[in-house]
Amino acid sequence: MPPFDVPEGDPFGPHNLPYGVFSIPGERERTVGVRLGDHVLDAGAAARALGSPYADLLARPTLNPLLAAGRTAWSDVRRALTAWVTVPAHRETLAPLLRPLSSVTLHLPFEVADYVDFYASENHARNVGRIFRPDAADSLTPNWKHLPIGYHGRAGTVVVSGTDVIRPSGQRRSPADPAPVFGPSVRLDIEAEVGFVVGTPSEPGRPVPLRDWREHVFGLCLLNDWSARDIQAWEYVPLGPFLGKSFATSVAAWITPLDALEDARTAPPERTHPLLPYLDDTDTEPSGYDLRISVAVNGHVVSEPPFSTMYWTAAQQLAHLTVNGASLRTGDLYGSGTVSGPAERERGSLLELTWNGRDPLELPDGKRTFLEDGDVVTLSAWAPGPDGTRVGLGEVTGRVIPA
Amino acid sequence: MPPFDVPEGDPFGPHNLPYGVFSIPGERERTVGVRLGDHVLDAGAAARALGSPYADLLARPTLNPLLAAGRTAWSDVRRALTAWVTVPAHRETLAPLLRPLSSVTLHLPFEVADYVDFYASENHARNVGRIFRPDAADSLTPNWKHLPIGYHGRAGTVVVSGTDVIRPSGQRRSPADPAPVFGPSVRLDIEAEVGFVVGTPSEPGRPVPLRDWREHVFGLCLLNDWSARDIQAWEYVPLGPFLGKSFATSVAAWITPLDALEDARTAPPERTHPLLPYLDDTDTEPSGYDLRISVAVNGHVVSEPPFSTMYWTAAQQLAHLTVNGASLRTGDLYGSGTVSGPAERERGSLLELTWNGRDPLELPDGKRTFLEDGDVVTLSAWAPGPDGTRVGLGEVTGRVIPA
């Protein structure tokens, strides 16, 4: 009777238990599901069947009520779920509530409140600086080592993995153009990122200190912040990226709770500049994560960015985001920024992998500088789990369709 | 029996009828209200009392259902309301449903989906350019005349008029500082703007052409996009404003429907550069608005920015916002950007009014470069209405309180 007996080594075993929202056409409206191997457990129905008090948080069409319930509830629910899927006495009750992943439709797992995107990889920021400002004395802007640079993106165009991405059109102007031209982007790119999902809100005027970030952040997911480099290059001075990013941001269908990633916590890289007290994480618990990301185009792996190399942590990003008194809402999402490691094959964007198109990638189906119509981009990742296991992150995938 | 007989010349007479959301402590939960003079009509209760089919759109704690109903419904509801408040037979029924403004609490009138801020005043953009890049050949960036520059702001910190604004803290670094310093902003500023409220959503990949903007935009309101100039100056390269803006954006409690502003429509300034077809409004109906804004600090008027001088219109902003395929949601809000006219007393920010602090304003209570704790900023405005009337916009006011 699968899938309680998930194969040894499955990255979605009972040590993981990420949350999503699924439906079954014609049979089941949207409701919270928990992934176990290649099955989904109807979590609300399971809670009801077992008389659990968490049914009210789980028998919902979105994760938001669970997100809003706060860290104690998150831990309690996770403990309960772990018991349900591991205690043999529950098998008969729960077996009918486990559905093969292939039979369900997965949805955006939570209602996104505000979406913020950071720029936290030093390797990425230096690569971008070298590409666009080759003559600058320093490839980083003067503020980069003092604060985690971020900006707001479009929450309404965050889509779930599997959603097609329509190639955006817009204005672009290369140095040779006498005036801007309009048309489909010719430099459509990937940004391989990790997104953090806020559960517990905060009050205006009350910054979240570094040590409290886990009280607010429920979990994380892979995120592809699709970027039209040509649109972005023309529009972004002086107020930052807008249409070059706002057409789509893809997130995984599965949110991995931070509690599943205890064994993946790691110290961030050594800080090369002294930090202001609200960002100084010298004496805090490590809030970096050892996530091994893989970026594939049409099934061919082009890069393996290591999240452990990120200079700024999710804790620092949350402390910065709120230090001016800005409040948090349940469902706020913030992206890490493109994850790029120091090696060439660790870069999280085609901009970097092809050095702005100069060095095309050789794929089995031809050369690539930027994405072509029909290309399918898939991000996947795993993290070290307890006892040598791997914790899988839900993949985020999307196909580029013509403008 | 006031207030049906609103005094002649009242800018909130039956020709106006803006929408808001009010409650009466201990008596009435949040519900949609319509302003008439210095009273509020409980619109949902009125609809029920008169057997109107619009009760379902109006007896709600937010404007979102009305916003989502679309232009035909907007016009129908407005026609019905106009009849209710002008036909004498309804007076007896409606009198108990009119409450003095002074007796109600006003709330954020709609749930903000995404918030975008533009930069559409040529005078403002040129002033900013002259202040920060005095040696540049052109005070505008090369893209300015080709597209309405915009960026996403924080929807979760949009607050209703009357909400106190806590002075934000953050990093700043003046040229003389060897390293960034942290503390309350010392350059807290006003940005006098007009916000546009989206009702009808749009599909991904389907841009909204210029001619369709009124199908999507329900109405407008005054908006103060509070800005911490010192935080913004240090953080904004290369990804734009973030914490310098995200602590608070104040909007009026009253949303004026576009239908109330037919007599205020005006052609925008002559275009000095040819525009790409999706932005070319040469042969479209005028989508500029003649709104006469007033900016007061502690009751003292410091500026009167004329909205009619805005180079980019709300129609162009919506066409641009969606041209990359980004979809709209009910409750999306976009700000015009700071409104500044050509004259010194027409500038919509203290940055411009004091020329970045060089020329302090003389107020009755002392000099001002930027805002001090305790200062109350109030934006108000009117527009030409039918038959020589004035259409008042709801004011937006806020007091600065210490960090």
For A116, the closest chain B residue by CA position comes to B154
Neighbour order of strands in the sheet with A165-166: A165-166, A390-401, A376-384, A292-297, A300-303
Under an 8 A CB cutoff, do B274 and A329 touch? no
Q: CA angle, corner A223, sides to A332 and A173, nearest 5? A: 100
C-beta separation of A66 from A57 below 8 A? yes
What is the SS3 assignment for B220?
Answer: strand
Tell me the pLDDT band of A5, cut-offs 50, 70 and 90: confident
Note the pLDDT of residue A1.
Answer: 46
In this predicted model, what pLDDT tens digit does every residue of A372-386 receive, in sequence order? 999 999 999 999 999
Q: What is the ipTM of this complex?
A: 0.97
Instruction: List the single best residue of A147, A159, A239, A249 to mutate versus B (max B Cβ within 10 A).
Output: A239
Residues on chain A touching B166 (C-beta within 8 angstroms): 204-205, 325
Under an 8 A CB cutoff, do A156 and B114 touch? yes
B375-381: average pLDDT: 98
DSSP characters for B56-71? HHHSSSSSHHHHHT-H
Nearest CB partner across the interface for B153, out of A152, A244, A277? A152
Catalytic residues of B: 124
Q: Which two tokens stand for residue A105?
A: 């439709």
Residue B193 counted as an annotated binding residue: yes
For B153, the closest chain A residue by CA position comes to A152
Cα dihedral B197, B200, B205, B211 sign: negative
Under an 8 A CB cutoff, do B113 and A156 touch? yes
Residues on chain A touching B180 (C-beta within 8 angstroms): 143, 146-147, 276
Note the pLDDT of residue A175.
Answer: 86
Burial A173-190 (b: 16+ CB within 10 A, else e): beeeeeebeeebbbbbbb
Instruction: List the single best residue of B147, B239, B249 to mutate versus A (max A Cβ within 10 A).
Output: B239
Under an 8 A CB cutoff, do A169 and B274 touch? no
| Residues above pLDDT 90, as percent of chain B | 96
In this predicted model, what pLDDT tens digit does every residue of A84-121 receive, in sequence order? 999 999 999 999 999 999 999 999 999 999 999 999 99
What is the SS3 assignment for B196?
Answer: strand
- The span from the CA of B306 to the CA of B313, in Å, is 13
- The span from the CA of B70 to the CA of B322, in Å, is 18
Neighbour order of strands in the sheet with B300-303: B165-166, B390-401, B376-384, B292-297, B300-303
Under an 8 A CB cutoff, do B324 and A143 touch? no
A198-210: average pLDDT: 98
List domains and CATH numbers for chain B: 19-107 (2.30.30.230), 115-401 (3.90.850.10)
**Annotated catalytic residue A124:** yes
Note the pLDDT of residue B276.
Answer: 98
C-beta separation of A217 from A259 below 8 A? no
Under an 8 A CB cutoff, do B180 and A325 touch? no
For residue A342, give the DSSP letter: S
Residue among A349, A279, A346, A267 at smallest CA distance from A308 = A267
In this predicted model, what pLDDT tens digit does every residue of B274-298 receive, in sequence order? 999 999 999 899 999 999 999 999 9
Note the pLDDT of residue B5.
Answer: 81
Residues on chain B touching A240 (C-beta within 8 angstroms): 151, 236, 238-241
Residue B249 has pLDDT above 90, yes or no: yes
In this predicted model, what pLDDT tens digit does every residue of B34-93 receive, in sequence order? 999 999 999 999 999 999 999 999 999 999 999 999 999 999 999 999 999 999 999 999
Residue B390 falls in which region: left (phi positive, over 0), alpha (psi -120 to 50) or beta: beta
Mean pLDDT (chain A) is 97
Residue A340 has pLDDT above 80, yes or no: yes
Residue among B379, B373, B384, B397 at smallest CA distance from B188 = B373
- The span from the CA of B331 to the CA of A34, in Å, is 32
In this predicted model, what pLDDT tens digit does every residue of B186-238 receive, in sequence order? 999 999 999 999 999 999 999 999 999 999 999 999 999 999 999 999 999 99
Q: Which residues pair with B171 in a beta bridge?
A: B182
Residues flagged as binding site of A for substrate: 119, 133, 232, 236, 338
What is the SS3 assignment for A266?
Answer: strand
For B326, the closest chain A residue by CA position comes to A247
Note the pLDDT of residue B4.
Answer: 80
User: How close A60 comes to chain B (CA, Å)?
Assistant: 21
Note the pLDDT of residue A3.
Answer: 65
Residue A401 has pLDDT above 50, yes or no: yes
User: How close B7 comes to chain A (CA, Å)?
Assistant: 40
Residues on chain A touching B152 (C-beta within 8 angstroms): 151-154, 242, 246
Bridge-based pairing of strands B150-153 and B158-160 is unpaired
Residue B236 counted as an annotated binding residue: yes
Residue B317 counted as an annotated binding residue: no
Residues on chain B touching A160 (C-beta within 8 angstroms): none
Residue among A58, A392, A355, A376 at smallest CA distance from A222 = A392
Note the pLDDT of residue A194.
Answer: 98
In this predicted model, what pLDDT tens digit does every residue of B325-364 receive, in sequence order? 999 999 999 999 999 999 999 999 999 999 999 999 999 9
In this predicted model, what pLDDT tens digit does every residue of B82-109 receive, in sequence order? 999 999 999 999 999 999 999 999 999 9
Note the pLDDT of residue B175.
Answer: 86
A305-309: average pLDDT: 98
Residues on chain A touching B205 (C-beta within 8 angstroms): 166
Note the pLDDT of residue A4.
Answer: 79
Mean pLDDT (chain B) is 97
Q: Which two tokens stand for residue B42?
A: 């409980």
For B181, the closest chain A residue by CA position comes to A276
